[in-house]
Structure 1
Amino acid sequence: MNDKKIKELMIPSEKVAHVNLNNPLEHALLVLIKSGYSAIPVVDSDFKLKGLISMTLILDSILGIERIETEKLENKIVKDVIKDEAPSIREDESFIRGLKLSIDHPFLCVVNHEGVFTGILTRRAILKYINRYIHETNRESVRPM
């Protein structure tokens, strides 16, 4: 279990909903709604991880005193409301490190040694791997010798 690398369990970035720092906030909102996720990674033009954007952050940024000011969506970009700290892990790190970090986060952003976003590691992928490992270990321990 210790020798399993994050890269083997992650969902590649090509299959992950994400937005660019300079995308309009309205675009980010649409991506979040269409994907069904509450938060997604934000990258820069070099595809380096810059943070997370969420429905909550977007709604907070357009919330007025008496109403939701949707017209603000036209004038803001993702960079204006991003949470610039994203839970992340390098793709060459150990499974155990990913397990520890996933306790507090539903997913971890995965980056390479240059900080380029390469995918996500979900808590679901970790639990599936642990489940498979436990079942295989149990099967081996009950085999006759």
Structure 2
Amino acid sequence: MEIRSFLLPKDKVAYLTTTQSMTEALELLEASQYSAVPVIDTDGKYIGTLSEGDLLWKLKCTSGLNFDNMGEIPVSGIKKRNYNECVAINAHMEDMLTLAADQNFVPVVDDDRVFLGIVRRKDIIEYYTRNITD
């Protein structure tokens, strides 16, 4: 089965752009209650995932950085410790199971790596649970 039917589209996904600030990233994570979100560049292409841990490590390892001045740090300046692998929109659910074991979500891109949305681990597990028990 193709993943299109499981896609949570970009307009319904919390994500960041590389030009947003560390403060904006923290606020987005807090508001969405997610522990990680996709990051896209100015062309809309998926470049990685930013996590709460990435923000904490940046805060800890950058001398003089604090809550008052972290608005000066762009998302592009924060090292991402983990990279959530993405899949093409024409991928099949079978391609997702291994990724879902290590990622809360799987970013979905088009042929030019433009970010289209995500497939949540929850949806992948539910799909396989239904098909195993049916």
How far is the alpha carbon of 1:95 from its aligned partner?
0.9
Match of 2:115?
117
One-letter amino acid matched to 1:42:
V
Deviations 1:68-100 (A, max 9, x none): 722341220100004283321111011111112
Matched, 1:11 2:8: yes
CA RMSD across the alignment? 2.1
Compute the TM-score of the two structures, normalised by the length of structure 2: 0.89
Unaligned 5+ runs, structure 1: 138-145
Given that 1:86 and 1:109 are in contact with CA atoms closer than 8 Å, whether structure 2 keeps it comes out as yes
Match of 1:95?
93
One-letter amino acid matched to 2:112:
E
Match of 1:56?
53
Compute the TM-score of the two structures, normalised by the length of structure 1: 0.82
How far apart are the structure 1 equivalents of 2:67 and 2:61?
A: 9
Given that 2:84 and 2:103 are in contact with CA atoms closer than 8 Å, whether structure 1 keeps it comes out as no
Match of 1:140?
none
Match of 2:78?
81
Unaligned 5+ runs, structure 2: none
How far is the alpha carbon of 1:64 from its aligned partner?
5.9
Match of 1:25?
22
How far is the alpha carbon of 1:65 from its aligned partner?
8.9
